[in-house]
Amino acid sequence: MVIKQLLKDQTHYKKRNTPMKQLFTFLAAVLLTATTYAQVESPSQKETLSTVGLKTGVYILKVQAENIVFTKKLVIE
């Protein structure tokens, strides 16, 4: 997974195969779990995770695909 850009209302990343996305509060409470079942033919395809409606704070984005786990700290201002 590659985080392309962090924006105020959304995060963009390249997706491969069938990633599972989770968004946690900094205290590890799960806010969102989503799985993309469609097969991705090109690793350059992107998916957007909306952060609209999240309160100001620090979150952890976790994306799993095959044997790769990617985590990224998100700061919502």
Domains of the chain: which residue ranges? 2-76
- Maximum average pLDDT range among 9-18, 36-45, 56-65: 56-65
Tokens (6 digits) for 36: 């993309």
What pLDDT was estimated at residue 9?
53
pLDDT band at 62, cuts 50/70/90?
A: confident
Find the distance separating the first CA and the last CA of the chain, reported in whole Å: 24
* 2-76 CATH: 2.60.40.3080
Interval 26-39 mean pLDDT: 54
Cβ pair 26, 57 in contact under 8 A: yes
Cβ pair 8, 49 in contact under 8 A: no
Helix (H) or strand (E) holding 26: none
Q: pTM of whole model > 0.75?
A: no
What pLDDT was estimated at residue 20?
65
The answer on pLDDT for 58 being more than 50 is yes
